[in-house]
Structure 1
Amino acid sequence: MILPIMRRDVSDAPLASHLHPVLDRIYRGRNVHDIDELENSLKGLTHFNQLKGVEQAADILATIIANNKRLIIVGDFDADGATSTALCILALRMMGFANVDYLVPNRFDFGYGLSVPIVDVAKQKGAEAIITVDNGIACIDGVSHAKALGMSVIVTDHHLPAQTLPPADAIVNPNQPGCDFPSKNLAGVGVAFYLMLALKSQLQKRSYFTEKAITPPNLASLLDIVAVGTVADVVVLDKNNRILVHQGLQRIRAGQCRPGIKALVDVANRDHGLLTSTDLGFVIGPRLNAAGRLDDMSQGIACLLEDDTLQARMIASELDALNRERREIETGMKAQAEKVLAALNFTEENAPAALVVYQADFHQGVIGIVAGRLKEKYLIPVIAFAHQDDEIIKGSARSIPGVHIRDVLEQVNTQFPGVIDKFGGHAMAAGLSLPVAKLDIFTRAFEQIAKQHMDKLEGSQVLLSDGPLSRDELSLPFAHLLRQAGPFGQGFESPLFDGEFAIVKQRLVGEKHLKLVLKDDSGQEIDAIAFNIDIHIWPNAMIKRVHLAYRLDVNVFRGQETVQLIVEQITPA
């Protein structure tokens, strides 16, 4: 779908005289009003004591450690859950506590979160206490069962809570009622990191480190893991999250990261010194996620926990192979979905306000990615469903800015009670389950309510551009400056520029990618690539000039760096 390009509104007053004028324009276009908002040092982090429940949780956890009780971390089967789990295990080890293990529910056997069966598995592993990471806020039955078995339960989560909270001993979630923590956008790994900060403080108050003759750990050394989980979970990069990601990214670039993270970068053939925040989401995140999608997320956690470089490389290679398998499955599922949609013969005039896709043979581990791909293509909310068992189907929902997908599901659940079994999530992504027999009813309800939300966006779907770049700015020095200007991500989008260029050369590479040599108005030639283009339109020798929306990138080939434009949208000029 071709979108109109609109230049971002920027305030008139420059932020600072020392900023490059284009960077100044970029920041002001993202509603940065004060140069201090760009402070990325650790001193700018909000203090943990503003997070409701965190000091209570730290006190309980410190007592668990003092009594050497058996502690089980129960995580989630995505990259945020894997990083949250690994972070807690590593931090506790750094604090001298070894009586800890973890469980991640296999999505195919147990489903999401702290379920009753997972509590029973934890009990079999000797659990006397449980910490949930990146889940738990909706797990009322699981928490109740753990309490009935005599366990202490600390819930750490970031998902939006329902009206009823689980009966845990402590809940740490910036989105729970009564929490004044200013960053409501912490990922699960961010919440876990804050709990570990509070725990360290509590143990210091108890003179634990002195008595054990342990040097209090520098928990900032774990920020590489926090950065990966934060970006991979596509949470909004507000100021607090930008600090967490920036600090972690700096450690990765400097090679001061976990062996597993470096190994994942290496198997992807990327230079860790040139990584951007976007790469954390597109290079490391998918390889961690592949374990939870197709196999067992324990493999991803093991990669993050591994201290041996060679062993970490072996696990990373296995994750890379799983990721390739995941891509093949995803491609086949997307092709199936596209066939279904093609048969419906959508046009821009009769396109639906939302899509529900379901095939009996869809792989439940990949439905989230398929929903995301279709959302990007059609720019509407999408839910993809796959079978959990013969009667129940699981759905993964992805949405667009301005349509809060969890709120849409909440409305469906309220107006059509008994259709959805359970649901939860964020503004941009959610999960749900329902009987396959009720899919038709759900589809009609979802499309009806989603349309009400989409109608409010009428005319507002555009590509927001940071304007054109001059000849001097279409250069390696400026491209490198941009790489250091982030971190960019959800809610603080990476710079997008637009302009007209003449086509010097064009050819198809890798079946569906368009490789271009362009010339700007000054006569300077520059390389560009447009991914996943419509091969029925491109290459096209009849088109001599194009209008591009693009991102400025550094391409490294055989040790040589060149400027390259990553084309987001291409239209004849």
Structure 2
Amino acid sequence: MKRWTEQKEIPSETHNELASYPEFIRDLLFNRGIDTKEKAEQFLNPDYERDLHDPFLMLNMDRAVGRILEAINKKEKIIVFADCDADGIPGSVVLNDFFLKVGHENFEIYIPHRYKEKYGLNIDAIKKFKNDGASLLITVDCGITDNEEVAYATKEGIDVIVTDHHLPGEDLPSAYAIVNPNQKECSYPNPNLCGGGVAFKLVQALIDKGNFEVGPNGWEKWLIDAAGISTISDMVPLTGENRAIAHFGLKVLRKTNRPGIAKLLQKKRIAQNQVTEEDVGFTITPHINAATRMGVPHNAFLMLKTRDGLEAHEYVQYLHQKNEERKKTVQTLLEEIDDRIGDVSNKEIISLGDPAWLPGILGLAANRVVEKYKKPVCLWGQEGSDVVRGSCRGDGSVHVKQLMDEIGSDFFLNHGGHVHSGGFSVGDSDVSKIENKFEEAYKKVKEESVDEELLIDKTLTLNDINWGNYALLESLAPYGVGNAKPLFKFEKLKIKEASFFGKTGTHLKLVFERPGSWGMPAIQFFAHDYEDGLNLEPGNYVDVLAHIEKDMFRRNPSLRLRLVDIKEAEL
């Protein structure tokens, strides 16, 4: 059950403080913690020099920069080892482009295979680096818990610089330098950088200290498109410095000289000069991850870094193919789950797995299973490894991380997550215990759970939906964690048309009556089954919660509602 909650009314003093801004967005600013004109100016007008912090405020940045500059001067072999996701891969592109720009060609980008290699550094890869003559290893978005591997590399004569943003363990690896804003002694103002963001800060520092002849001051801004992809993909809070990185990352993406990005957007019929954070999250990110989940992650790196149009076309075709394979594989998996799941009426939580299932697609499948059965879901797979990996998704009845915490690290090898999603790993000898563990934990945790809360930014009428107000909404973007897309309440809307669409008929389209026009369209993808008694037939009245969005169907822009929840109106 979802609770609709109105945000606190804006105080009169804040209303007066923000009086120079249009009435439409004053409440929206206040709901985002912006209660002064100074804060509003900073939020609405990101500034590169003001909002991006001095990279040398990060612990060990000076030591890391010194070692890398030494390696460049001595033409040492440098390895950049990046995590194989849509944070680490763009982060590796930042360093790749930096080394090429400053003329250091003796480097290699290494991105591990998701299923053939463990997460993070591994001994076999380090042995290869040693045989190849490497003397410096830089991690991107990984390494902070790889104590054994870092110690091995150091013993073999390879200095390791760990750049990461994940939480450190009790004992840090014995690296030459660790650059991570989440270290205990690090006082960097933004602990919420993603892995690609940390890599970008490293390049900022290198250019500042390196006296390289790389062109105009601020050349590194052209790399912020990759850092922006990382920032949006990794769903870190889009506030402060992260908001600036995402904002300027999108500006560079709109005029990118990366043919891979341009061709991918063209293939998906997205206007490059209007690309948004949603285009990154729903198009660029899935294609990067498709290479990781279904193929060779290095090809996603090559698509991002190439400057050759023919190469870009080939890599975009590859990623498109893998993304289509991913969709088909997920659909096949869903059909298999439906066959196995049986009667769920007496199940409080769905827990299923198979050694043949690809762990990399289980989160996608779990989302769909939750949408269909309205219950929390945990799926696991193995795909040849001796470690079972699983993904959990919630239905709003339970906090997913708390659910896994209840089971605990005595059972899990690793686990973590958030309110609605999480992941875990267990030894293959414990597979038979997974279902019972989740069922027992759910019974305990559910008693402490509360209904999902939907925070309403403002109550509007359909007449408030116009291009002027939409432009004001665009000024609040990019949206994401920490800056949620505004959620509006509309009351007593009369349904004019109602239909379901899509291959499986799971997407809902409504048209509401609107005086002076043919109507206001509204859609919801993977529409859930609303409570018994809710009538969506034409002529009935409903209250809805929705976002306002631009529809570019046939490249003819119009405004519509993206539905979040619907209730019967009280007349």
TM value normalised by structure 2: 0.88
Report if the CA contact (8 A) 2:461-2:490 is conserved: no
In structure 2, what is the equivalent of residue 181 of structure 1? 188
Deviation at 1:413, TM superposition (A): 4.4
Gaps of 5+ in 2: none
Aligned to 1:7: 6
Q: After TM superposition, list the pairs within 5 Å mapping 1:489-528 onto structure 2.
A: 489-500=480-491, 501-510=493-502, 511-520=505-514, 525-528=519-522
1:126-169 deviation line (CA, Å, top 9, x unaligned): 32211110111111222122112110101111111111211111
Give the corresponding residue for 1:23. Answer: 25
Q: Secondary structure at the match of 2:359?
A: coil
In the TM superposition, what is the alpha-carbon distance from 1:261 to its structure 2 partner?
1.9
1:545 aligns to 2:541 (yes or no):
yes
Q: Which residue of 2 aligns with 1:292?
A: 292
Tell me if structure 1 keeps the 8 A contact 2:63–2:177: yes
Residues 355 and 384, structure 2, Cα contact 8 Å, conserved in 1: no
- Equivalent residues in 2 for 1:287-436 (5 A)? 287-337=287-337, 343-345=343-345, 351-352=348-349, 356-374=351-369, 383-389=378-384, 391-397=386-392, 412-414=407-409, 416=410, 419-423=411-415, 431-436=423-428
Aligned CA distance change for structure 1 residues 222 and 465 (closer, same or farther; 3 Å) = same
Q: Where do residues 133-212 of structure 1 align in structure 2 (5 Å cutoff)? A: 133-204=140-211, 209=212
Find the aligned partners of 2:396 and 2:482 in 1 and give their Cα distance: 9
CA distance 1:386–1:277, shift in 2 (3 Å): same
Which residue of 1 is the match for residue 551 of structure 2? 555
Q: 1:63 maps to which residue? A: 70
Q: Note the alpha carbon deviations across 1:388-408, whole angstroms, 9 max, x for none.
A: 436421223557999886677
The corresponding residue for 1:566 is 562
Q: Cα 1:337–1:571, aligned 2, differ >3 Å: closer, same or farther?
A: farther
How many percent of aligned residue pairs carry the same amino acid? Answer: 26
Deviates more, 1:446-455 or 1:241-250: 446-455
Alpha-carbon RMSD across the aligned residues, in angstroms, is 3.0
Partner Cα distance (1:529, 1:401) in 2:
21
* Secondary structure of 1:263's aligned partner: helix
Measure how far apart 1:226 and its partner are.
1.0
For each residue in 1:391-428, what CA deviation from the matched residue of structure 2 results, as whole angstroms up to 9, or x when unmatched?
A: 421223557999886677567445x2xx3334567787
Cα 1:508–1:409 shift into 2, 3 Å: closer
> Greater shift after overlay, 311-320 or 188-197?
311-320
CA 1:24–1:513 in structure 2 vs 1: closer, same or farther (change >3 Å)? same
SS at match of 1:77: coil
CA change 1:467–1:476 in 2 (3 A) is same
* Alpha-carbon separation, structure 2, partners of 1:376 and 1:158: 32
Q: Residue deviations 1:92-115, cap 9 Å, x none?
A: 212221111111111121121101
| Paired residues, number | 556
Letter in structure 1 aligned against 2:545: A
**1:396–1:430 CA contact under 8 A, matched in 2:** yes
CA distance in 1: counterparts of 2:375 and 2:54, whole angstroms: 38
Whether contact under 8 Å (1:51, 1:174) holds in the other structure is yes
Aligned to 1:128: 135
Provide Cα deviations, 1:265-292, integer angstroms capped at 9, x if missing partner: 2121111233221221111100111101
Deviates more, 1:283-292 or 1:27-36: 27-36
Question: 1:37 and 1:337, CA in 2 relative to 1: closer, same or farther beyond 3 A?
Answer: farther
> What amino acid maps onto 1:506 in structure 2?
A
- Whether 2:459 is the aligned partner of 1:439: answer no
Measured in 2, the distance between the counterparts of 1:429 and 1:94 equals: 40
CA deviation after TM superposition for structure 1 residue 449, in Å: 5.5
Aligned residue identity for 2:5: M
Q: Give secondary structure in 2 for the equivalent of 1:506.
A: strand
Summarize the Cα distance change of 1:120–1:49 in structure 2 as closer, same or farther, 3 Å threshold: same
Residue segments in structure 1 that go unaligned for 5+ positions in a row: none
Q: Following the alignment from structure 2 to structure 1, what is the Cα–Cα distance between the partners of residues 42 and 407?
A: 38
1:11 Cα deviation from its structure 2 partner = 3.4
Q: Which region of structure 1 is more displaced relative to structure 2, 310-319 or 375-384?
A: 375-384
CA distance 1:290–1:21, shift in 2 (3 Å): same
Q: Deviations over 1:313-345 (max 9, x none)?
A: 332232122112111212332444456556232
Q: 1:108 to 1:19 in 2, by over 3 A?
A: same
